[in-house]
Chains A and B, each alone.
Chain A
Amino acid sequence: MNWVTKMFSSSLGQKFIMALTGLFLCTFLVIHMIGNLQLFKSDFGLAFNTYAVFMTTFPLIKVVSYLLYASVLFHAFKGFMLVAKNRKARPVKYAVQDGAANSHWTSRSMGLLGTIILLFIVVHMKNFWYEYKFGHEIGYTAYIQDIHKDTLVSQAMEPSYTQVKKIEEVNYSNESGQYHVTIVKDLYKEVAVEFKEWWLVALYVLCMFAVAFHLYHGFQSAFQTFGINHSKFNGLINFIGIWFFSVIIPASFAAMPLFFFFK
């Protein structure tokens, strides 16, 4: 057997890939969260919509996004395979097993939490990614900035309006002043409309708990799988894993649907 195949088909090698793809998905979450913070700006979504165009057109981001889709699928697929293999290692279950006595429940529920997250990703991509790329629901909005007075108005375009490029920008001036006009696909409005549904908001918030608990164990576990378990670094790894990845990130994401629901 080829040594690469051998390495990655061993139990340690498979865990290594799980850790590698898992941490890559963590870095994605950081970018996704920071980018989406623009939803909180009071600019009728100009910054967010411009950002959405950049994220779907910039070549490097496009390449990374395909790597990302592959990582999600691989992490999920490999995870299911490992769960199946691990179950096979104990064909007769214990009548009584006190897992709480020796381990944290999140570490024993990674498969379940991961499944919830996978289903969430499907719903989430249908809601926004699919609608943005292939749907016909999302219209265009024109943003008119007054360059001198520094004011901004937004004007939804007719539903039938369409343009070749995802974003069009023009400058024009008349007797009342100088203006910068941006016409862009209004994903922000789609977000605002979707998150008026209470059940969708509830679903998103609950799924962020799944993300929080998955990363509570997953982030530090990935370092252990890489062989990084050292008294000099464990404190930092646990701190980042718990406070950043299982508190700040999911809380920020959960704040977005809540913000639009109560807005």
Chain B
Amino acid sequence: MEKNLNLSLKVWRQKNAKDKGQFETYKVNDISTDMSFLEMFDVLNERLIVEGKEPIAFDHDCREGICGMCSMFINGRPHGPKQGITTCQLHMRSFNDGDTIVVEPWRASPFPVIKDLVVDRTAFDRIISAGGFISINTGNAQDANALPIPKDDADESFAAASCIGCGACVAACKNASAMLFVSAKVSQFALLPQGQPERKQRVMEMVAQMDSEGFGSCTNTGACSAECPKEISLTHIARMNRDYISAELSSAK
């Protein structure tokens, strides 16, 4: 078994959206390398509660990498130093004894801080509401093979649909752009026959909503894809780019 860790945590503390906020440093000792990053925060919070202090607020839910709730900008990277994982899947064996770890909330004007490390990501929900759905209002689900879909298309659509909406793409992007998220949500339908009737309208409305939320524009740095826990590809951004221009040029509206 590896030796337990003693660490310094520099954590962003902010009472509420209006508070200015500041970093506070906490020492945590005897941290097992088998703990997840969130479990380490649980240990710290237990201690803060016992000491009568306010525990650190952070988002979490499933703790198995599929809900997209956990955020945390750890040592300059969303979800910490590893690729293709969420913060709950980050284990303390990725750190060394004596490390100082800086933990910040996602920083983007459309993601205002609610408290400490918790940010408001409802901007994503509004983008989905603007067009990230298919309108089927009645009846049962069809037989699975009633619509022939090429395996490659189904796979690529599924890869796009694996986006958990965590916001790491926005957090990582130097422009706080939401292009990877929006393009995944556009692509998952654009690749399937069920998505075709609303394809043009969907991309135009989702892009318009994305812009009105105040996300930055895309510089194609690729930081989003590199930091995405689901490793969503930049090809989806390219698809959204061509879908958007062709939709604007060819749609009735």
Given the known interface contacts A94-B104, A108-B174, the answer about A89 and B241 at a Cβ–Cβ threshold of 8 Å is no
Q: Convert B68-102 into 0s and 1s, putting 1 for each residue whose CB lies closer than 8 angstroms to a CB of A.
A: 00000101110001000000000000000000001
**In the complex, A164 has a CB within 8 A of chain B:** no
For window 226-253 of B, CB contacts with A under 8 Å fall at 226-227, 234-235, 237-245, 248-249, 253
For residue B8, give the distance in angstroms from its CB to the closest CB of chain A.
13
With an 8 A cutoff between CB atoms, is B219 at the interface? yes
Interface string of A211-226 (1 = CB under 8 A from B): 0000001001100111
Contact B245 A12 (CB under 8 A): yes
Contacts of B248 in A (CB 8 A): 3, 6-7, 13
With a CB–CB cut-off of 8 A, which chain A residues contact B211? 10-11
Alpha-carbon distance A85/B51, docked complex (angstroms): 44
Q: How far apart are B170's CB and chain A's nearest CB, in angstroms?
A: 9
**A178 CB–B CB distance under 8 Å:** no
With A7-B245, A86-B174, A98-B75 in contact, do A107 and B238 touch (Cβ < 8 Å)? no
**B110 in the interface, Cβ–Cβ < 8 Å?**
yes
Contact of A11 among B172, B218, B221 (CB under 8 A): B218
B172 and A90: CB pair below 8 A?
no
Which of chain B's residues have a CB closer than 8 A to the CB of A220? 220
Determine the chain A residues whose CB is within 8 A of the CB of B77 once the complex forms. Answer: 98, 101-102
- The residues of A that contact B191 with a CB separation of less than 8 Å are none
Flag if A102 contacts B222 (CB, 8 Å): yes
Contact residues, A48-106 vs B (CB, 8 A): 82, 85-86, 88-99, 101-104
User: Measured between alpha carbons, how far is A110 from B219 in the docked complex, in Å?
Assistant: 8
Minimum Cβ distance to chain A for residue B183 (Å): 10
Verify A103–B223 contact, CB threshold 8 A.
Answer: yes
Which residue, A6, A16, A229, has most C-beta atoms of chain B within 10 A? A229
A14 within 8 A of B: yes
Q: Are B104 and A95 in contact (CB under 8 A)?
A: yes
Whether A224 lies near B220 (C-beta < 8 A) is yes
B207 at the interface (CB under 8 A from A): yes
Cα of A180 to Cα of B23 in the assembled complex, Å: 80
Inter-chain pairs besides A12-B241, A82-B217, A103-B222, 9 sampled, C-beta below 8 Å: A6-B248, A16-B241, A89-B216, A91-B109, A94-B76, A102-B221, A220-B220, A224-B220, A226-B245
Closest 5 CB pairs of A and B: A227-B242, A98-B76, A229-B238, A89-B216, A86-B175
Interface residues in chain A, defined as those with a beta carbon under 8 Å from any beta carbon in chain B: 3, 6-7, 10-16, 82, 85-86, 88-99, 101-104, 107-108, 110, 217, 220-221, 224-230
